Amino acid sequence: MTIQHPTPTTPLRGRMIADMSARNLGPASQTSHLRACKRFASWLGRSPETASPDDVKHFQLHLIESGTSICTRNQTMTGLKFLFRVTLRRHDLAAEVFHLKKPVKVPLVLSRNEVKRVLAMAPGLKARVMLSLAYGCGLRASEVVRLKVGDIDGEQNIIRIVQSKGRKDRNVMLPVDILSLLRVWWTERPTVNDRGVSGPDRALFPGYCGRHLSARQISRLFKQAVLAAGITKPVTLHTLRHSFATHLLERGVDIRIIQALLGHAKLTTTAHYASVATGMISAVESPLDGLTAAKRRKGAS
């Protein structure tokens, strides 16, 4: 994959791009690392090659004091650590980089009825198909918009997710309802940019100039559906993926199967959904119930 970097390339930037490409870093990681180095250079006022360990310490303090979120701050320092350790080979600078522990938050999920309302209020067939894929198959926004015709296997009832997060492939189920929606969508799908593109390689949800839609576009469609459904929770499109995992867990699906469907590398990541499986939590008998039941039995005797 050719990764374009519109910013004029300095010798240091060129070396870093070459180092990242040699290590097969994805486009998103490369962009993030370069943005981090640009931010550090802007704060420093000179080339990062001239930085001292104290500069790295003070920059991290600057990020904290300026109100930068922990996630963005850690992401920035990850990019700088790559620059220091790999490109500059300045291990004295890399040693000064530290990461802050992010607070553990319970992911927000929608109830089954809320999901049903969102899908019903989707603004058009295309939006309904994409949102159904996000919830019904547990897909990320980027995975939905990047789907190609050849990724849909109606014979085996699976969808192939090719080179997603972490450069990993996986298979997910293809529900009957979604397959029916896809067949209807196929009759309405724009074909103006299909010329010269083989059938399996055609974007399932084409955008401009033969490219697929962007993740931002599907997020906007989701927000429209949420608003129309009268849901006031601060949800995002990723909430559908959280809801997919939680609802499967509540139905008794093995957590390792859910891990495979989500493409999680670690089981501990998937296990977080146990904390929001309200059906499972509400079904647990409190020890207080046991005490009151014992009192009733004692009183009856």
* Nearest alpha-carbon partner for 264 in 234, 240, 242, 289: 242
C-alpha distance from residue 173 to each of 62, 109, 129, 204, 270 (Å): 47, 21, 15, 17, 18
Q: Which of 38, 117, 238, 272 is catalytic?
A: 238
CB 29 within 8 A of CB 166: no
216 is catalytic: no
Token pair 């550090």 in the structure block, residue: 40
Beta-bridge partners for 173: 158
DSSP string, 59-107: HHHHHHHTT--HHHHHHHHHHHHHIIIIIS--HHHHTT---PPPPP-PP
Q: Which of 73, 140, 148, 212 is catalytic?
A: 140
5 is catalytic: no
223 is catalytic: no
Distance CA 162, CA 273 (A): 25
39 is catalytic: no
Distance CA 234, CA 221 (A): 15
Q: Which of 128, 241, 242, 247 is catalytic?
A: 241
Helix segments in 105-237, DSSP class H: 112-120, 125-136, 141-145, 176-188, 215-228
112 is catalytic: no
Q: Identify how many contiguous H helices and E strands the chain contains and give both numbers.
A: 15, 3
Distance CA 264, CA 282 (A): 26
208 is catalytic: no
Q: Which of 39, 58, 165, 170 is catalytic?
A: 165
CB 135 within 8 A of CB 245: no
Q: Give catalytic residue positions.
A: 140, 165, 238, 241, 264, 273
